[in-house]
Structure 1
Amino acid sequence: MFPGAGAEREAADYAVVGAPLDASTSFRPGARFGPRRVRQFAQGFDDYDRRTDRHFTACSVHDHGDIGPTADTAEYLTYLEGTLSDYDAEGTVPLLVGGEHTVSVAGVRALDPDVFVCLDAHLDLRESYAGDEYSHATVTRHALAVADEAVVVGARTGSEAEWDRASDDDVTVVPPEDAADWTPDFDGEDVYLSVDIDAADPGFAPGTGTPEPFGLAPREMHEAVRAVAPQCVGFDVVEVNDRDDGQAGTLAAKLLRAFVFAHAAAE
């Protein structure tokens, strides 16, 4: 169980849902261990958040456990979407913990946001990668089939075709050097927030599948999550694996908690 997530389902305002999909990882596998690592490295955090004057144990968070993947990724995403849709119908905000970034597709489909905001090193605007339409490198393109626009904070790499797609009016790229000064302004729109842990510079979060240098600092990610959270209908943190000493899992767990605190404080 995620530490402090002791609420019963019927009383929950938030629900942690583990999604250990590890099907299309193209460099360093291990995202299947992400939910376990995030829960493990949240063990040492204090319950109290001074910025919001709240206790995590009082935020009514439920831990659904993990939904194990099937051999068919499309089938798995459909099942995962159904679970997240059920929570949304109950008035509970899903907190999805990957797993590879592909699981975000289920979150966006379930919650139907106006805007998809993603902290990510990669544009993820490919139509397919290695012949796989559900590759982790296609997530933002899938999100744009649902959301009206996408904002990718921290992006610093992509194919030529992806950068061409990113120049369209429905995509905004905030490079790492501009992230500290970025202020979200969504004018009451529903937002889905996805945090790919590789948005962080790999010096801060080496435990991820496709590390990319010159990334965001944890403080910049923290401020972005807190700024976006109040308008969010859902959240995920993805791409944590087991190939470090806990840095990526610790950062992911802290950002999940930051989302809950900031979202709850705005209610």
Structure 2
Amino acid sequence: MFPGATASRTDAAYVVVGAPLDISTSFRPGTRFGPERIRRFARPFDDYDRRTDLRFSDCSVCDYGDVRAWDDAAEYLAWLSGELRDVVRGDALPLLLGGEHTVTAAGVEAVSPDVFVCLDAHLDLREAYDGNEYSHATVTRRILEGHDSLDVDVEEAVVLGARTGSPTEWERADSDDVTVVAPEDVPDFDLETHLDGRSTYLSVDVDAADPGFAPGTGTPEPFGLDPREMRNAVRAVAPYAEGFDVVEVNDRDDGQAASLAAKLCREFVFSHADG
């Protein structure tokens, strides 16, 4: 259980759902261990948050456990989306713990926001990767355009911290429905003005962080964001968000990535509850 997630499902304002999908990772696998690892490294954190004067255990968070993954990404996303829609229908906000970034498509489908905001080192705008249209490298493209049974309709994708992509991805990123903010520009980017009150889904790919801060991820990319920059972005978006996830944590470090992911999840809850 995520520490402090003591509410019942019927009374919850926030519901933690683990999604340990780990089938398309192209470098270092291990995201199947992400949800439980995030829970584990949240254990040392104090319940009380001085900035908001809130206790996590008073924020009505429930931990639903994990939705067991299997080796068909499209089928799994459809099932996961149904589980998350149940959360939304219960007037709660889903907190999805990945798992590879592909699971975010299910979260967006369930929430149906106006804007998709993502902290990510990669554009994830490929049409397919190694012939696979449902991949951690295609998730933002799927969210923008949908595919087969994936029913999504967002106005815009905002990618914070992206620093790499293929030529075709950068070409896709030049479209009006994509805004890319380079790592060095993230601190000065006015998220509140840009969102302009639109409903939002917020996804944190932990590889948005420089790998010196979060080495336990599948495709680390140097020259990234520092934890405070990520925290500030989460705080800025949280009041507009109707769904949240943190993804791409694996077991290839001493807990740095999982600790950062867990802390950002808590920061989201505190900022949303306080907003």
Q: 1:162 aligns to what?
A: 169
Shift of 1:182: 1.4
Shift of 1:135: 0.8
Q: 1:205 aligns to what?
A: 214
Q: 2:268 aligns to what?
A: 259
TM-score, structure 1 normalization: 0.99
Deviation string, structure 1 residues 160-197 (Cα, Å, up to 9, x no partner): 00001101111001100011111212122110000000
Q: Does 1:237 align with 2:246?
A: yes
Partners of 1:47 and 1:71 lie apart in 2 by: 37
Three-state SS of the structure 2 residue aligned to 1:32 is helix
1:12 partner letter: A
1:91 partner letter: D
Aligned ranges 1:63-212 → 2 under 5 Å? 63-145=63-145, 146-184=153-191, 185=193, 186-212=195-221
2:247 partner letter: V
State the Cα RMSD in Å.
Answer: 0.6
Partners of 1:73 and 1:138 lie apart in 2 by: 12
Partners of 2:198 and 2:68 lie apart in 1 by: 32
Equivalent pairs, count = 266
Partners of 1:226 and 1:54 lie apart in 2 by: 15
Q: Does 1:59 align with 2:59?
A: yes
1:54 partner letter: L
Three-state SS of the structure 2 residue aligned to 1:192 is strand
Q: 2:224 aligns to what?
A: 215
Shift of 1:71: 2.3
Q: Once structures 1 and 2 are overlaid, which stretch shifts more, 184-193 or 224-233?
A: 184-193
Deviation string, structure 1 residues 100-121 (Cα, Å, up to 9, x no partner): 0000010011111100000000
Partners of 2:71 and 2:178 lie apart in 1 by: 32
Partners of 1:154 and 1:100 lie apart in 2 by: 18
TM-score, structure 2 normalization: 0.96
Shift of 1:157: 0.1
Shift of 1:44: 0.2
Three-state SS of the structure 2 residue aligned to 1:9 is coil
2:182 partner letter: P
Q: 2:150 aligns to what?
A: none
Q: 1:6 aligns to what?
A: 6
Over the matched positions of the two proteins, sequence identity in percent amounts to 69
Shift of 1:70: 1.9
Is there any run of 5+ residues in structure 1 with no aligned partner, and where?
none
Three-state SS of the structure 2 residue aligned to 1:251 is helix
Q: Once structures 1 and 2 are overlaid, which stretch shifts more, 165-174 or 209-218?
A: 165-174
Partners of 2:103 and 2:25 lie apart in 1 by: 12
**Superposed structure 1 runs of 4+ greater than 3 Å apart:** none
Three-state SS of the structure 1 residue aligned to 2:23 is coil
